[in-house]
Amino acid sequence: MGRIIIQRTVGAGITLLVLSGLTFALLALMPGDPVDLLAGSDPRLTSDDIARLKALYGVDKPFWERWISWLGRLAEGEFGYSRMFGAPVADVLPEALLRTLSLAIAALAISTVLGIAGGALAALKPGSIFDCGTNFLAFAGVAAPSFWLALMGMALFSITLGWLPASALPADPDAGIFECARHLILPIAVLAALETAAILRHARAAVGEALTQAHVQTARSKGLSDFRIIWRHVLPNAMTPLVTVLALDLGALASGAVVVEVMFGYPGMGKLLYDAILGADYNLAMAVLLLGAGAILMANAAADVAYAALDPRIGFGKAVT
């Protein structure tokens, strides 16, 4: 048990390291560096000044040298300074992280409940209208572009019906908690709809698989209610594979969160990342990317460990391969 946790953590760490190098290389390939941008906004800077500034900030060095020094600073717990916000990255991140977490957790909670309940009901009555309907919805949710779903939500609920605001934050910064929550309904709903579609398919498959087992037939022949069979005898078995799939879907959820945050103007990690990449705020972009990737890799590793721990048929040795 201890060994697999260590192995997974080390694996995730190596992946993160490689990823940070790759990201650094890509950022170095972007047009202009921070000093170029500074020069563009300040006509008084001469080319000598620019060269001096570049040397001062080290942006004239090759990317791998900068990467190594960035890693060194990271090791000291230093994320660097955000150009866009004019503040240390460490000061900008917590609020954005909190915002994204509340968005993602709300969406994930809704879609897990809806997806598993829908998938279980569909699996109970294969071939029924409900089964076909949820199956189509799941298919449709995977094929619908996330940003279009958001656009349709805005067009319908904000513009045509006028029920919900089209931005994720109230214009008035002192708005009460209910007003804030009302602004979040649409973004959460869009994100939840996308995630529900993914979970529906997996839940349908997992529950369908678990239903074929002998102990379920026994329970059924004892005359237990459908609800009790699902709750007590099927879901515990179906949850094991589901947890892994849910963890694998976190990447898609994060992509969806970026889209939703950008479209609804919600200053969470996704919007921060988008603005940071397009605004050449390298320190911020690196921090957000690695934090997000790290969280997802850790969740995946945790799901693997949980999977191995929950399913006695899976030996730890096997799960490592």
Partner 1 sequence: MTALALNLAETPTRRAWTRFRRNRGAMLGTCLLAALALSAIFAGAITASLGLDAEAVDLARRYAPVSAEHPLGGDELGRDVLARLLQGGQVSLSVGLAAAVAAAGIGATIGLLAGFQGGLTDSILMRITDGMLALPVLPLLILLAAVDPTKLGMSAGSGGAASVVRIVLIVALVGWPGAARLTRAAALSARAQDYVRAARAVGVHPFRIALRHVAPAAAGPVIVAATLAMGQVILFESILSFLGLGIQPPLASWGAMLAHAQDTIWERPMLTIWPGVAIFLTVIAVNFVGDGLRDALNPLAVENR
Residue with tokens 């693997």: 304
Torsion, CA 18, CA 21, CA 24, CA 26, rounded to 10? -70
Q: Is 26 in the site for partner 1 (CB under 8 A)?
A: yes
Q: Site residues for partner 1, window 47-86 (CB under 8 A)?
A: none
Q: What are phi and psi of 166, to 5 degrees?
A: -95, 5
Q: Shortest gap between Cβ of 139 and partner 1 (angstroms)?
A: 6
Q: Is 277 in the site for partner 1 (CB under 8 A)?
A: yes
Q: Which of 159, 171, 177, 214 binds partner 1 (CB under 8 A)?
A: 159
**Structure-block tokens of residue 315:** 């030996």
**Structure-block tokens of residue 54:** 């570049």
Nearer to partner 1, 32 or 72 (CB): 32
Q: Which helix (H) or strand (E) holds 208?
A: helix 177-211
Distance (Å, whole) CA 134 – CA 121: 10
Q: Is 27 in the site for partner 1 (CB under 8 A)?
A: yes
SS3 81: strand
Q: Site residues for partner 1, window 230-269 (CB under 8 A)?
A: 248, 250-255, 258-259, 262-263
Nearer to partner 1, 213 or 255 (CB): 255
Distances (CA, A) of 235 to 227, 239, 242, 244, 314: 10, 6, 10, 14, 19
Residue pair 186/169 in contact (Cβ under 8 Å)? The answer is no
Q: Which residues contact 188 (CB under 8 A, 6 or more apart)?
A: 103, 106, 107, 110
Q: Is 39 in the site for partner 1 (CB under 8 A)?
A: no
CB atoms near residue 9 (< 10 Å)? 15
Q: Is 147 in the site for partner 1 (CB under 8 A)?
A: yes
Among the listed ranges 24-32, 68-76, 174-182, 218-226, the one in contact with partner 1 (CB under 8 A) is: 24-32
Distances (CA, A) of 99 to 58, 87, 181, 311: 33, 19, 12, 35
Q: Which of 109, 140, 227, 231 binds partner 1 (CB under 8 A)?
A: 140
Nearer to partner 1, 74 or 151 (CB): 151
Q: Shortest gap between Cβ of 174 and partner 1 (angstroms)?
A: 26
Q: Is 11 in the site for partner 1 (CB under 8 A)?
A: yes
Q: Which of 9, 15, 102, 167 binds partner 1 (CB under 8 A)?
A: 15
Q: What are phi and psi of 116, to 5 degrees?
A: -70, -45
Q: Shortest gap between Cβ of 36 and partner 1 (angstroms)?
A: 11
Q: Which of 155, 163, 218, 317 binds partner 1 (CB under 8 A)?
A: 155
Q: Which of 133, 145, 176, 315 binds partner 1 (CB under 8 A)?
A: 145
Contacts with partner 1 by CB under 8 A: the residue count is 48
DSSP letters of 224-267? --HHHIIIIIIHHHHHHHHHHHHHHHHHHHHHHHHHHHHHHT--
Q: Is 211 in the site for partner 1 (CB under 8 A)?
A: no
Site residues for partner 1 per CB under 8 A? 11, 15, 19, 23, 26-32, 139-140, 142-148, 151-152, 154-156, 159-160, 248, 250-255, 258-259, 262-263, 273-274, 277-278, 289, 292-293, 296-297, 300
